[in-house]
Structure 1
Amino acid sequence: MDVVDLHALHRVPVAEVSSPAYELTPPRVVNPSAIPLSIMQAMRHGWFARTHASRPVTLTKVFDVYVTMEGLVFTQDKKLVRQSIAQHTPEECARGLAAIMQTEQAGSVQVIRPSSLLLRKRGEHNYGHWMVELLPKLWLAEEYLPLCSLVVPRVSGNFARVLRDSVALSTSFQPLFCEMDAAEVLFFKELVLVDGLTDHGVYMSPLVFSRTEELRARIPGTQVRRLYLTRRGRSRTVRNEDALMAFLQTQGFLCVDPAELTFAEQVKLFRNADCVVGVMGAAMTNIMFCGKGTKVITLAPASMPDTFFHFIAGLRGLAYYEIRGRVHGPAEDWNAPFDIETDDLARVLGIALPHGAA
């Protein structure tokens, strides 16, 4: 498969913005010795780079391109645009090319003529990826050019409402939505690409939070000050969660699953929190709506190779901790149930347990 650099295409450069340099201290981690070496190596740059230099973020309009496989962009002569590869595996890239060839052979390629902004990437059905890695592209693009259409993943249920509400509440733009299934193929006459805001697990630009304070100011908060976020009924759950929740409720925590809340309800719930505890997962993205200095305690299996929430917390000025727990299942399975010791959590919360209470 041929891969081509965006800058080698027939294109119109729209803007280049300088993402500010910043410093990021490593997270405070409980039980770091439980993390497998391979997982630690995968997170090393995200956790320990400390200095993140200024980087360019570019907006570019390209012409006559295919989009498929969660945001892969191919030229008319079937070359894959390197900058559109975002955590895609080589196999997924090959399937994208095959999907284009099959759609062409069937004579069923749909052509999209309005100028469109690409808001897709691998893992696009994840609320965190949408809020941090996709929606901010709209915020930036809106500053520099008129837009007609947003190319977004086709989602259902509450996430479909959240996606549209997050656009409506953070922008004056009233777009057309061009929804795509994961492996669907569309051909765009004009497509706008934003490159450089994030490199998942390695880098996150401060620009991704350019409108977060505006959102916080627009939506009044609740009186809730302490939150626990559960993932009950899904993968990656705390095995001893009932005991953990009972302990947290004695400490004034509201235990909640934000999965079915509206976008505004999620902002409202987190806006005034001064302590958030939760299992590592999409709902923890909402810590971006917390005020500076909020204590955030993420509970994660030792095998979870993720720096996403560390970046959010660092860029938003939050006091961030991780408690890593022992996995019940294959050592490399980060979706398996895991244990969190109550005394570990109490220690991070600054609570002295009675002897034997843990």
Structure 2
Amino acid sequence: MKNPIRSLRRFARKQIQLAQTRLQPDRFITDQVSIYEQGKSVPGGIDLHTLYPAQTFTPAHDDHRRFVEASPEVDKFCCERKPIFTAKLHNVKFYRPLGLLLTQDDRVITESGALDWRIRGSKLMSRPTPKPTVTFRKAESGSYATVWGLLAHNYFHWMVECLPRLYSLADYTARTGEPLTLILPQSEAKGYHRASLDYCLPEGARVEYLPDDDWFGFESFVLPSYVTTWYVAAVPKPHLDYVRGRIFARVGLPAEHKPDKHVYISRRSAADRRILNEDALIPMLERHGFEIVQPEHLSFDDQVRLFHRAKTILAPHGAGLSNILFAPPNASVIELSLANTRPYFYYLADSLGQNFYYVLGQAGTYSDNLQIDLEKIEKRVNEVLRKT
């Protein structure tokens, strides 16, 4: 049970902080700016190059359309992916803990956090944060850049939202001839961050890991916009081909797949979205030839090798499903999820040319564990295996 005294104190502190912000607005970070829509108002100007305009995605099959429309946010996002672009900026401030960029006049650049509401809910703007004073550093050669972001510490958000943005930076360097220095937070970059970034670095780019200071300033900075918009993980084919090709080459895998594995991804060790009746599910899957894996127990390279050979992938909704990024086109993906899930993996599978199926459990909150009828799962597995 929550402590009412502690909750009251927390509420009081919040009200005091909000009052401070209202009374002294010039001292605190309060505003955002979209550089795509309001670039002319940014000090120093910007050099913006659009790779793709905004695009709306409508599932071709009724079954997939029902799956997408079950999402509680479907009306909020209308299945639209925002424009994809690169922008060269001058004298920007970088908030390391969240990967957010500010203009010289202390407005948060919306596209550095993907979405307005993500930024509004972040600790940078949900509590009074004084405007920072920074020294603007100059790159040894060219400009600074980053693909780090608000949720980059999560495997899915890194692999699907962040890493493909390197193609946009590679395109920038190819167009301009300007080398880039990629920045990442030293203490937060895990093994898979470092390996995948190294494998996918644009030509001539280098990496600089930042210490744990909160704020940094950069004279010249290239921002690649996000290539997905929240659950619309419809990554453009050139971005997917770039990431897959670079990673496969570095791991020593051919571009051509020889799929021969049926893989079940377990969330047994996860804090949420576990399959509650998994102990009964696994023996049934093993009878059908499924290999049971927990990707977090494998090295990044071994995850790539495993899913490169995957013919069928069955999993509860979660970060492990991001590994379909390495699976063959025409692989079959079966997602086990809440009745009101978010269709990230439908859009990703569709972008990859994979066959997407699902089995739904109960409706609930996003983090709820699942109890799914085993007969429904086996029926779907039999259907998919007959087709493969």
Normalising by structure 1, we get a TM-score of 0.80
Counterpart for residue 343 of structure 1: 375
Could you tell me which amino acid in structure 1 is paired with residue 144 of structure 2?
S
Structure 1 residues 310 and 45, CA gap change in structure 2 (3 angstroms) = farther
Structure 1 residues 319 and 45, CA gap change in structure 2 (3 angstroms) = farther
2 CA distance for matches of 1:293 and 1:149?
Answer: 37
User: What is the deviation of 1:256?
Assistant: 0.4
2 CA distance for matches of 1:2 and 1:320?
Answer: 40
The number of aligned residues is: 331
Counterpart for residue 16 of structure 2: none
The superposition leaves residues 155-189 of structure 1 with CA deviations (integer Å, 9 ceiling, x where unpaired) of 55xx71111211222345552233476x9222222
2 CA distance for matches of 1:334 and 1:346?
Answer: 24
Higher strand share: 1
- Determine if the alignment matches structure 1 residue 4 to structure 2 residue 41: no
Farther off after superposition, 307-316 or 161-170: 161-170
Higher relative contact order (CA 8 A, sep 6+): 1
1:198 counterpart (228, 231, 234): 228
2 CA distance for matches of 1:97 and 1:204?
Answer: 33
Could you tell me which amino acid in structure 2 is paired with residue 324 of structure 1?
L
Counterpart for residue 125 of structure 2: 95
Could you tell me which amino acid in structure 1 is paired with residue 191 of structure 2?
R
Counterpart for residue 351 of structure 2: 315
Structure 1 residues 82 and 217, CA gap change in structure 2 (3 angstroms) = closer
User: What is the deviation of 1:83?
Assistant: 2.2
Q: Structure 1: which 5+ runs fail to align?
A: 353-358
Structure 1 residues 44 and 214, CA gap change in structure 2 (3 angstroms) = same
Farther off after superposition, 125-134 or 200-209: 200-209
Could you tell me which amino acid in structure 2 is paired with residue 15 of structure 1?
H
SS in 1 for 2:302: helix
2 CA distance for matches of 1:262 and 1:110?
Answer: 38
The superposition leaves residues 191-247 of structure 1 with CA deviations (integer Å, 9 ceiling, x where unpaired) of 111125221123634143131442475233787511000111212100001111111
- Determine if the alignment matches structure 1 residue 237 to structure 2 residue 285: no
1 CA distance for matches of 2:126 and 2:179?
Answer: 26
Counterpart for residue 135 of structure 1: 163
Q: How does 1:1-358 map to 2 (within 5 A)?
A: 1-6=30-35, 7-8=39-40, 9=42, 10-13=44-47, 15-18=49-52, 24-26=59-61, 28=63, 40-43=71-74, 56-68=83-95, 70-87=98-115, 88-92=118-122, 94-95=124-125, 98-101=128-131, 104=133, 109=134, 111-114=136-139, 115-145=143-173, 146-154=178-186, 160-171=190-201, 172-173=203-204, 175-179=206-210, 184-195=214-225, 197-202=227-232, 204-206=234-236, 207-215=238-246, 217-218=248-249, 219-220=252-253, 225-234=261-270, 235-304=272-341, 306-326=342-362, 331=364, 333-350=365-382
SS in 2 for 1:199: coil
1 CA distance for matches of 2:311 and 2:336?
Answer: 17
Contact kept, 8 Å, 2:45 with 2:89, in 1: the verdict is: yes
SS in 1 for 2:167: helix
User: What is the deviation of 1:303?
Assistant: 4.2
2 CA distance for matches of 1:19 and 1:260?
Answer: 39
SS in 1 for 2:85: strand
Farther off after superposition, 251-260 or 61-70: 61-70
2 CA distance for matches of 1:282 and 1:351?
Answer: 25
SS in 2 for 1:348: helix
2 CA distance for matches of 1:45 and 1:272?
Answer: 37
Percent identity between matched residues is 22
The superposition leaves residues 107-145 of structure 1 with CA deviations (integer Å, 9 ceiling, x where unpaired) of xx4644322112122211111211122112222212322
Normalising by structure 2, we get a TM-score of 0.74
Structure 1 residues 335 and 279, CA gap change in structure 2 (3 angstroms) = same
Structure 1 residues 255 and 28, CA gap change in structure 2 (3 angstroms) = farther
Counterpart for residue 355 of structure 1: none
Q: Structure 2: which 5+ runs fail to align?
A: 1-29
Structure 1 residues 79 and 169, CA gap change in structure 2 (3 angstroms) = closer
